[in-house]
Amino acid sequence: MKKFLIVFFVILGVIFLVGALIGIGFFIANMNSPKTNSGNTSDTDVQADGGFSLSDAQKSALQAFGIDISTIPSYITPEQEACFTLALGADRVAEIKAGAVPNAIDFFKAKSCI
């Protein structure tokens, strides 16, 4: 029985060590990977076409969902608006346009339209 416990704990230790080494490898590989936000603003120029503006409450809600509000487009195409209408319904789209705060259900329903 004593020999069994020794073998069991040695195997457990080896599995733990291999897992730790794999975890460290992923951590080091992630440190060396290029970052997605390079700070180059020329790729995301904002159009000043007077499209729409979000209320402070709408901006707060989007930030709560983990969305960077600087990446929100300033103009919604007719195709996107039609997609929003199909996903949320015409009444809800009109409410949001009027300044209502979108909730999590609205966000997940309309996520594919953005």
Asked whether residue 1 is assigned to any structural domain, the reply reads: no
**Nearest Cα residue to 110 out of 78, 81, 77, 88:** 88
Residue pLDDT, tens place only, 67-85: 787 777 777 888 888 998 9
- Domain total in the chain: 1
Asked whether residue 75 is assigned to any structural domain, the reply reads: yes
Asked whether residue 106 is assigned to any structural domain, the reply reads: yes
Residue pLDDT, tens place only, 7-29: 999 999 999 999 999 988 888 77
Asked whether residue 5 is assigned to any structural domain, the reply reads: no
Question: Which residue range is the domain that position 102 belongs to?
Answer: 53-113
Residue pLDDT, tens place only, 32-60: 666 665 555 555 454 444 456 677 888 88
How much is the pTM?
Answer: 0.47
Question: 107 and 65 in contact (C-beta within 8 Å)?
Answer: yes
**Nearest Cα residue to 98 out of 67, 52, 51:** 52
For 106, counting Cβ atoms within 10 Å of its Cβ (0-12 exposed, 13-18 middle, 19+ buried), the class is buried
